[in-house]
Amino acid sequence: MRNGKGSMNRRGFLKGAAVGAAAGAAALVAPRVGVPGSLASAAASAALPEPVRLTPAQTAELQARETAPLPPEQESLTVSDPGSDFMVDVLKTLNFEYIAANPASSARGLHESLDSYGGNKNPEWLTCCHEVIALNIANGYYAVEGRPMAVFTFVPAGLHNSLTAISGAYGANTPSYILVANIADAEQRRAQQDWGGHSMTDPAAIARPLLKWDDNPPALQHFAESAVRAYKIAMTEPRGPVLLVVDASLAELPIPDRSKLSIPKLTLTSPPAADPAAVAEVAKLLVAAENPLILAGDFARDEEGMKLMVELAETLQAPVQGGGRGMPNRHPLSGGGSVPSADVILGFNRGSMFTDLYRSTDQQLKTSVRRTRPVAKVITISADDLLLHGNYQHVGRFAEVDLSLTGDPQATLPSLIEACKKLITSDRRRVLEARGKKIAAETARRREELLTYCTYGWDASPISQPRLAMETWDVVKRKDWALVSRGHPLWNADKFYRRMGAAGGGGVGGALPISIGAALAHRKHGRLCVNFNPDGDMMFVPGALWSATHHRIPLLIIMENNRAYHQEVMHLQRIANRRQRGQDIAHRGASGTTITDPNIDFAQLARSMGAYAEGPITDPKDLRPALLRAVERVEKGEVALLDTVVQPR
Amino acid sequence: MNRFVRHRSVRIAAAGLMIAVALIVARLGAEAQTPGATPGAQTAPAGNTQNGKRIFASYGCFQCHGREAQGGIAGPRLGPNPVPFVAFSRYIRQPAGQMPPYTSKVVTDTELADIYAFLQSLPQPPKDIPLLNN
């Protein structure tokens, strides 16, 4: 119930007391009887003025005003059916397991409903120490679970804080589901806090260039419909982040008439397959090709996507490069072939393919030379063009192709496989099988070369990256493991869930919270999750560790601690050399790029937040026992961190 | 779709790059990796191994090639058994790929010979590492 203008009820009094804390405190503790609160602070700060003394009649009047009951239409101390309870009902129908958030006063209505009315279950609140942690935990969770985790924040600061994670989500087609608290009604805003920092006219404007859709519902029924619509849009291919404003007064005021509210049924949209005629044309080219090459991005949504890609590769006996989680890396056709030798190149979710088709150099004069054969036909199958915002140049440099199919790759694969099978005669099959054997031999040879490559620097200190990867692999390979960070080509990623792909987003500062979100999704399956985490990344949001320990998310974190933002070290060296003053950089050390003096004690950092930790580990011989101890702790449900000091790259 | 994540997170592409680097090394090494003395070593100027080791670190070679010159995702292996000195020197002065140029103003010819001597001096890697058999 709204308060009458110009009146002061008890709620108004409490607001005033909170806003003017000093004055209020002075009034409450003023030793001099009869000094009104409004004058008390002035009296305290003045040069001992004569205190104002009230007459007994004035004092009685004041006391009566403060203690007398207000007229019913002005009194509003309790509410029995707040709007945010209905909002929780809506969120429950969307079956969110978790909601990640840093608490905020303007979000208090929905927060309390989630806890009390919703029982802090489906969704369960995940406490995060920063909004970018919340967003990235949700992004990592989606990468494994395949459905969104809700995120709750407020404007403007909370949404500002989360922008890099939203950027990562947009870039990786991750359907972040973002709820943002705002207070639209001027009368419902607290006089100072909400006007000063918690209210906007168009909250989504902060993030709109990165959003697939947003809405600002002014009523509860509108909220229900937009909440379901937002979920549907986020999950429609190509997927992307959505934002829904939660009006705080809508959440805190009572529901006018619950019988008039309803929650629409969620029906997800099937992904769009490419045009059948174009698919048939692609099949003809692929079956006739002598040296086809499949270049795949991280196209697969689930295990079925991996099975389909394997089926296409085996049908054609064609090599597959990339594929993220959609191609088992030890498959005989995985990693074979090359762009310069291919006569038909099929790109799945590869963006513009410019970086595939051209060899580019980062020298003083930037050069790009096309490296395909003149006769090569280039085909793309992607839904990328269906979701583009102009301000972000992620589209890549424009590359000429011969056939461009708009469609979701995984949804298109069944018809493409079928079309290829129809065209393959028994004679053609024999040719393809012979080609497949050659490719298998080639990929086996490449693997042997890689194994030999790993032997160099094997005993080096700091520890070489291959040594770290293979020591870890030896400890986890017989368990049901899942990488929640980048991996190593020698690990046997035989299942979709073994790797993360790019689905969680990225960017410096994202690796730790993304891995935590992913590990949370794996937890119910009892998988051993491993995160190779760079030191520079860890220092962006180390507070994410606390969320992992607090919520009992088992995770093995292996620091790739090279004590630098090493990529930037290399960039500075490059520029200095280009200007022929490389020695200066080399001798002095590049300023602003190293993380030394002091070296960070990551083990101590992790222990401070309740994790098991060891390190720094610099001798590769110390790795195995430390790994065994750490894995034992993780299998008991803990977070374990090993601070390993590694070679720069 | 990878979008800008691919550009911002070099680590995601690490696996593929490592294979590519291994192949580059294999090609470069095909000329050089024969038993016995390094081919081209006779034509290399004499260098100071200790100074070469120091320069390899202080001039930033390790940044891409690793502290033992073993290579990594940013640069190929350089030793032991480096490519012939002529090819080594030419590439450093005028690289054709992503490597930044090290002109004689940055690394003198003498220093280059020292680095080469360091690369020649590197021990052969251990053989039959059990962890690499699975």
Encode pLDDT of A280-311 as tens digits: 999 999 999 999 999 999 899 999 999 999 99
Determine whether the interchain pair B77/A464 forms a contact, defined as Cβ–Cβ distance below 8 Å.
no
CB atoms B16 and A322 under 8 Å? yes
Q: Nearest CA to CA, how far is A571 from chain B (Å)? A: 9
Output A197 or A179, whichever has higher pLDDT.
A179
Rounded average pLDDT over A430-458: 96
Distance CA A160, CA A153 (A): 10
Q: Where are the domains of chain B?
A: 4-34+43-126
- pLDDT beyond 80 at A163: yes
> What does the alpha-carbon distance between residue A117 and residue A103 come to, in Å, rounded to a whole number?
17
Q: Which among B23, B101, B126 has CB closest to A458? A: B126
- Tally DSSP H helices, then E strands, for chain A: 25, 18
CB-nearest partner of A449 from B16, B26, B106:
B26
Chain B closest-CA separation from residue A308 CA (Å):
18
* Contacts with B118 (C-beta within 8 Å, 6 or more apart), sequence order: B47, B49, B50, B52, B53, B55, B56, B69, B79
pLDDT beyond 50 at A15: no
Q: Which residue has the tokens 């459905």?
A: A147
Nearby residues of A427 by Cβ (< 8 Å), 6 or more positions away: none
Answer yes or no: is pLDDT of B25 > 80. no
Residue of A nearest to B104 (CA): A580
Over residues A564-574, the mean pLDDT reads: 89
Transcribe A493-528 into DSSP letters.
--SGGG--TTTT--STT-HHHHHHHHHHHHHTTT-E
Q: Per mean pLDDT, which of A49-63, A191-205, A312-326, A576-590 is the most reliable?
A: A312-326
* CATH 3.40.50.970 correct for A456-563+599-645: yes
Q: How many residues does chain A have?
A: 649
Q: Residue A506: its pLDDT value, please?
A: 59
Instruction: Give the lowest-confidence range in A246-250, A468-472, A498-502.
Output: A498-502
Instruction: Say which of A329, A394, A511 has its CB closest to residue B3.
Output: A394
- Average pLDDT for chain B: 77
Q: Which of residues 131-170 of A touch B (CB under 8 A)?
A: 167-168, 170
Contacts of B69 in chain A (CB under 8 A): 456
User: Which H or E run contains A368?
Assistant: strand A367-370
Higher-confidence position of B72 and A205:
A205
* Candidate from A120-124, A136-140, A256-260, A584-588 with smallest mean pLDDT: A584-588
CB contact under 8 A, B132 and A488: no
Check if the beta carbon of residue A139 is closer than 8 Å to that of residue A174: yes
> In which band, very low, low, confident or very high, does the pLDDT at A47 lie, cut at 50, 70 and 90?
low
pLDDT of residue A74: 65
| Mutation site for A-interface testing, chosen from B11, B21, B103 by largest number of A Cβ within 10 Å | B11
Can you tell me the distance from the alpha carbon of A173 to that of A234, in angstroms, rounded to the nearest whole number? 9
In chain A, which residues fall in CATH 3.40.50.1220? 276-443
Q: For helices A465-476 and A623-635, what crossing angle results, to 10°?
A: 40
Put simply, whether B40 touches A (Cβ < 8 Å) is: no
By the CB < 8 Å criterion, does B30 face chain A? no
Q: How far apart are CA A65 and CA A13, in angstroms?
A: 12
pLDDT of residue B42: 58
Q: Which residues pair with A564 in a beta bridge?
A: A594
| CATH code of the domain occupying A276-443 | 3.40.50.1220
On whether any CB of chain A is under 8 Å from the CB of B20, the answer is: no
Q: Helix and strand tally (H, E) in chain B?
A: 6, 0
β-pair type (A124-127, A98-101): parallel
A478 in contact with chain B, both atoms CB, cutoff 8 A: no
User: What's residue B40's pLDDT?
Assistant: 52
Say yes or no: B24 contacts chain A, CB-CB below 8 A.
no
| Cα A308-A315-A440 angle, rounded to 5 deg | 100
Supply the pLDDT for residue A255. Answer: 96
Best CA proximity match to A416, nearest among A297, A298, A318: A318
The C-alpha atoms of residue A494 and residue A474 are separated, in whole angstroms, by 16
| A63 pLDDT tier (thresholds 50, 70, 90) | confident
Is residue A84 pLDDT above 60, yes or no?
yes
Predicted pLDDT of residue A69: 74
Of A368-382, A423-437, A488-502, the one with minimum mean pLDDT is A488-502
Q: Are the C-beta atoms of A398 and A368 separated by less than 8 Å?
A: no
pLDDT at A320 over 60: yes
Range scoring the smallest mean pLDDT among A69-78, A183-192, B58-67, B119-128: A69-78
* Integer angstrom CA distances of residue A224 from A177, A241, A260: 14, 18, 12
**CATH 1.10.760 describes domain B4-34+43-126:** yes
Calculate mean pLDDT across residues A543-555: 98
Encode pLDDT of A16-31 as tens digits.
333 333 333 334 433 4
Which pLDDT score, from 0 to 100, does residue A8 have?
Answer: 36
A454 and B25 within 8 Å at the Cβ level: the answer is no
Task: Tell me what percent of the residues of chain B surpass a pLDDT of 90.
Answer: 56
Coil, strand or helix at B63: helix
Residue B124: both structure tokens together: 């052969």
Please tell me the predicted confidence (pLDDT) of residue B41: 55
| Mean pLDDT along residues A232-249 | 96
Helix, strand, coil percent values for chain B (each to nearest 5): 55, 0, 45
Give the chain A residue whose CA is nearest to the CA of B76: A453
Among A565, A585, A523, A517, smallest CA distance to A140 is for A517
**Residue A385, burial from CB neighbour count under 10 angstroms (0-12, 13-18, 19+):** exposed
**Does residue B29 have a pLDDT over 60?**
no
Distance CA A469, CA A329 (A): 15
Interface contact B5-A171, CB threshold 8 A: yes
The pLDDT score that the predictor gives to residue A337 is 97
> What CATH number has the domain spanning A83-260?
3.40.50.970
Q: What integer pLDDT is reported at residue A589 of this predicted model?
A: 67
pLDDT of residue A478: 96
Q: Is-contact A102 A128, C-beta < 8 A?
A: yes
Q: Identify all chain A residues contacting B58, using CB atoms and an 8 Å cutoff.
A: 586-587
Residues 6+ apart with CB under 8 A from B41: B85, B120
Per-residue pLDDT tens for A601-644?
A: 999 999 999 999 999 999 999 999 999 999 999 999 999 999 99
Question: CA-nearest residue of chain B to A336?
Answer: B19
A417-435 mean pLDDT: 98
A621 and chain B: CB distance < 8 Å anywhere?
no
Alpha carbon A417 to chain centroid distance? Answer: 33
Mean predicted confidence (pLDDT) in A582-604: 83
> How near does any CA of chain A get to the CA of B90, in Å?
16
How many angstroms separate the CA of residue B126 from the nearest CA in chain A? 7
Mean pLDDT computed over every residue of chain A: 90
**pLDDT digit string, tens, across residues A122-134:** 999 999 999 999 9
Chain A closest-CA separation from residue B92 CA (Å) = 11
Q: Are A260 and A221 in contact (CB under 8 A)?
A: yes
Residue A486's pLDDT is 81
How remote is the C-alpha of B117 from its chain's centroid?
Answer: 13
Q: Is the minimum CB–CB distance between A14 and chain B shorter than 8 Å? A: no
pLDDT at A505: 56
Instruction: Give start-end residues of each CATH 3.40.50.970 domain in chain A.
Output: 83-260, 456-563+599-645
What are the residues whose beta carbons fall under 8 Å from the beta carbon of A132, sequence distance 6 or more?
A161, A162, A163, A164, A165, A509, A513, A541
Dump pLDDT digits (tens) for A376-422: 999 999 998 898 887 888 888 999 999 999 999 999 999 999 999 99
Read off the pLDDT band of A503 (50, 70, 90).
low
- Is B123 at the interface with chain A, CB within 8 A? no
Q: How confident is the model at residue A111 (pLDDT cuts 50, 70, 90)?
A: very high
B14, pLDDT greater than 50: no
CA dist A251 and A106 (Å) reads 10
pLDDT value of residue A11: 37
Q: Which residues in chain B are contacts of A570 at CB distance < 8 A? A: 63-64, 74
pLDDT for residue A582: 79
